[in-house]
Chain A
Amino acid sequence: MNSRIGYIAFNTFREAVRDRVLYNLIAFALLLSGAAILVGEISIDIERLVVVNLGLTAVSLFGVVIAIFIGIGLVSKEIDKRTLYTVLSRPVRRWEFVVGKFFGLTGTLVVNTFLMAIGVFLALLYVAHKFEKMDGWVLVALYFIVLQFLIVCALALFFSSFSTPLMSAVFTFALFVIGSLAEDLRGFARMTHGLGGWLATTIAYLVPNFSALNVISQVAHGDAVPGRLILYNSLYTVLYSAMAIAGAVLIFQRRNLK
């Protein structure tokens, strides 16, 4: 990563922190500590299961909401405030600006996820009194959640490169929902024949597959996650994010900013 991308990323991260994005951690901490105490009372025998399910679902949803609402404003806010012209008047290329913004937002989300992960493990320790070997798989689920954020960030950035913030939020959220139902979409594609089938299959493979990145239920039961899935999910995320960022860069480079 060149230094210009690094500066833009760092500034994006600093701006997000200044915008009190990390305040969501307070809500998360309250939710998880309340739940940890409650599940001890009402979820006999499945305390660990509930804490993992609730904790990881909250980490995922909090992060997706942040990724969408910050991601859609990354470009438009700079245009509205006219700070983009100051940045681009310096020796910064447009693609460096987009990539820097992407890394800045994903950095924010990684820090946010790291702090929430500490909360999840503390809640686990509270209900189970000790860590077990299978708790290690929770880390894999958290890693997949971060991969999910990378794709959502890239999509938000892609839509915000040509659309209004409101429409970008709608598009990104819609793709998140469709991507979460990717398995159903693929099943539908398999049942359809002819041109419709071909179209459905193409769409099914083009929308992000968030269901493959969701192993929350699996790790909640202490099941192992295959190494190959970790490898291919990582590869898929890098390629999908690169595709969305490349699209964003292409549009942004052709965009008339006057």
Chain B
Amino acid sequence: MLLFSMAGVMATLYVIDHIRRGSVAQEALYVRSSKTLRRLSLGYSGLLADIYWTRAVQYFGEQHHAGSSDFRLLAPLLEVTTELDPRLLPAYQFGANFLAPKPPGGAGLPGAALALMKYGIAHNPDQWRLYYNLGFLYYTELKDYAGAADAFAQGAKLPVTNPFMPILAARMAQHAGEFETARMLWFTTYQSTRDSTIQQNAVEHLLALQVDEDVTRLEQVVERYREQTGRLPTSMGDLELAGFIHGTPADPKGRPYKLMPDGRIEVQNPESIFFITKGLPPGAAPPQPPRKTQADSK
């Protein structure tokens, strides 16, 4: 009887959860005021911050998984978390990576991400990762190269810092070597975290950068071939015979690049490499990581 009722309770709750699916996410933030929460915590604000941090990660994961582009609670959840424990560094890193990018990759709130980073730096002025995250935001989302250079330069001055910081600061100041700079940024992001969501995001961006760089270089080669021969190459073999390339160039997934009749370079399967901006069929949008649709998750 005991086991039967226990199983019944769990089964019923499972059904209730499915009925209330939409409202559960909205209820993830019961109290928005960190001051009230701090008082309610009776001094145990550290544990409450950890709970809110877990809620923020779960909320983002659930919304992302369900194919939703609505991340309106991510910013307040991260704000409450960091106000309860201003030294919870992973929350700032998560914010830098997922608050600013446009949906569905993030919440599309670069202003909130910027405010979060500045709050983090004000409370943890000796943490190079926060200056890195701020510079990263300026560079990737706001295209503010002066702001990025300043953030990286400040982070580079700290007693404990990352060797890439002064290099990044110099590159931002020169605004040179776009691919190399972006690669350095995503590599540092990958290196500076153990969060698998952030690491996976960095790996996907690094692969996309490789494709963008390959396609740019190959299209320059095609252009040089055309200038030399007066016609477009018909295959990669033509470029190899002319000594412009060695072997058949392939994307990071190992699939050879396609040479199109108009001289453009395309990847064979655009859906397999996310975030690429080059090598796509004309008019195609950069592919995003696949997510379960609402229908799948039901």
Contact = CB atoms under 8 A, between A and B. Distances in A.
Contact of B43 (A43, A45, A52, A180): A180
B87 interface: yes
Contacts of B142: none
Nearest to A148: B43
Interface string B43-55: 1111101100110
Contacts of B90: 44-46
Interface in B83-106: 85, 87-90
A60 interface: yes
Given A181-B39, A184-B39, A46 B46 contact: no
Place the interface of chain A in its size category: 20 to 34
Nearest to B35: A184
B194 A217 contact: no
Interface in B54-69: 54, 57-58
B50 A214 contact: no
B241 interface: no
B50 A50 contact: yes
B225 to A, nearest CB: 49
B57 A42 contact: yes
Place the interface of chain B in its size category: 20 to 34
A61 B44 CA distance: 10
B297 interface: no
B238 interface: no
Given A217-B85, A221-B87, A43 B39 contact: no
A31 to B, nearest CB: 12
Given A44-B90, A44-B195, A210 B50 contact: no
Contact of B194 (A45, A60, A210, A216): A45
A181 B42 contact: yes
B294 to A, nearest CB: 24
Considering residues A42, A210, A217, A220, which has the most beta carbons from chain B within 10 angstroms of its beta carbon?
A217
A211 interface: yes
Contacts of A54: 47, 50
A185 to B, nearest CB: 11
Interface in B163-209: 193-196
A45 B42 contact: no
Contacts of B50: 43, 46, 49-50, 53-54
A30 interface: no
Nearest to B90: A45
B47 to A, nearest CB: 4
A180 B42 contact: yes
A53 B194 contact: no
A217 B49 CA distance: 10
Contacts of B42: 176-177, 180-181
B44 A46 contact: no
Contacts of A46: 50, 53, 88, 90
A45 B92 CA distance: 13
Interface in A208-227: 210-211, 214, 216-217, 220-221
A57 interface: yes
A172 B97 CA distance: 47
A176 B85 CA distance: 23
Closest 4 CB pairs of A and B: A217-B46, A180-B42, A214-B43, A53-B46
Given A44-B90, A46-B88, A181-B39, 7 more contacts: A43-B50, A44-B195, A45-B89, A53-B44, A57-B44, A57-B46, A216-B47
Interface of A: 42-46, 49-50, 52-54, 57, 60-61, 176-177, 180-181, 184, 210-211, 214, 216-217, 220-221
19 contacts: A44-B193, A44-B195, A45-B89, A45-B194, A46-B88, A49-B50, A49-B88, A53-B47, A54-B50, A57-B44, A57-B46, A177-B42, A180-B42, A181-B42, A210-B43, A214-B44, A216-B44, A216-B47, A217-B45
